[in-house]
Amino acid sequence: MSSIIKDLKSRILVLDGAMGTIIQTYNLKEEDFRGEKFKDHKSPQKGNNDLLSITQPKIIKEIHRGYLNAGADIIETNTFSSTSIAMEDYGLEKHVYELNYESAKIAKEVTLEFKEKKYVAGSIGPTNKTASMSPDVNDPGFRAIHFDELVTSYKEQVKGLYDGGSDILFIETVFDTLNAKAALMAVDNYFEENNVSIPVMLSGTITDKSGRTLSGQTVNAFLISISHYPLLSVGFNCALGTKDLKPYMKRLSDNTNFFTSSHPNAGLPNAFGEYDQSPENMLEQIKEFLDENLVNIIGGCCGTTYEHIKLIAEEVKKYKPRVLQNE
């Protein structure tokens, strides 16, 4: 904790870019995802990017290394969907600990190749189920998942990420704050039961230009809902591109005494669902975040590549970090 706080007070840290965007460039097939270990598994695995940490660790290491070489200070583990809840779709619930442990382990190994201090953030995604809303339009009271089930699932993920060597836990792309609260409870319970602690980052997602999360919270409501926990940072990522995310990052930055983070998409998806904002164009918009002193940690989400992060890493060197209000 003391190491990263010292770094955050001295400079703006750079988070890596999209894992999935780079994985797509490898054009992997079903057998690549399965590897030898899962070649006879009953369910299709193509698209299960998290599984590649076990079946294609060299590729995941190569991607981590690419972002670190581009100038990233923090790399996220390849575990966005590595909960038993999300892995039900692939029939891999029993392999959740291994997925998280191996992902954190290989990320840590790559950071140790560098002389400079690099950090591994254990990525904890929102799951594909929400505790606040019904997936059934005819039954608004129905819930596909309940709070205690989320806590249990997240706790299993936390254990794997911690044991594998994560320096930070990163609860990200929060669209339902009740899910995030379950993740925070899982983290807190694991830390207390094992007498350990590492920093925790949290990042929500504004789903459209209304400025609200999917579960309907404004920026201030979201912030109030999670500020009971001693977070290292709070921020927003995904959904909107940099330009559209800026007013909400400003509101967040003005109203929190946590360090702030942002890793927006490379613009909005086009008609084919692809992100085509160039690194140069995204950087021009990122500069507005830097000019207005909105962030302590900046990176990229969907559609961002090594080149996006390289330009951002070069630019942040020209700026001083955002100073917390109590300092």
From first to last of its 327 residues, the chain has per-residue pLDDT tens of 789 999 999 999 999 999 999 999 999 999 999 999 999 999 999 999 999 999 999 999 999 999 999 999 999 999 999 999 999 999 999 999 999 999 999 999 999 999 999 999 999 999 989 887 778 778 888 887 999 999 999 999 999 999 999 999 999 999 999 999 999 999 999 999 999 999 999 999 998 777 888 888 899 999 999 999 999 999 999 877 888 899 999 999 999 999 999 999 987 777 777 788 899 999 999 999 999 999 999 999 999 999 999 999 999 999 999 999 766
Cα–Cα distance measured from residue 29 to residue 132, given in angstroms and rounded to the nearest whole number = 36
Question: Taking Cα atoms as reference points, which of 224, 166, 227, 223 lies closest to residue 199?
Answer: 166
Shortest CA distance to 26 belongs to which of 55, 51, 63? 63
Q: How far is CA 45 from the centre of its chain?
A: 22
pLDDT at 327: 62
Secondary structure element (H or E) that encloses residue 119, with its range: strand 119-124
Q: pLDDT (tens digit, 9 = 90+) per residue, 53-75?
A: 999 999 999 999 999 999 999 99
Q: In 3-state terms, what secondary structure has residue 124?
A: strand
Give the C-alpha distances (Å, rounded to integers) separating 182 from 155, 170, 177, 179, 220. Answer: 9, 14, 9, 5, 20
* Alpha carbons 278 and 305: distance in angstroms, whole number: 10
Separation between Cα atoms, residue 111 and residue 118, nearest integer Å: 6
* pTM greater than 0.85: yes
pLDDT score for 214: 81
State the CB neighbour count (10 A cutoff) for residue 175. 20
User: Which DSSP category does 100 fall into?
Assistant: H
Whether residue 304 contacts residue 13, with contact meaning beta carbons closer than 8 Å, is answered with: no
Q: Do the Cβ atoms of 20 and 302 come closer than 8 Å?
A: yes
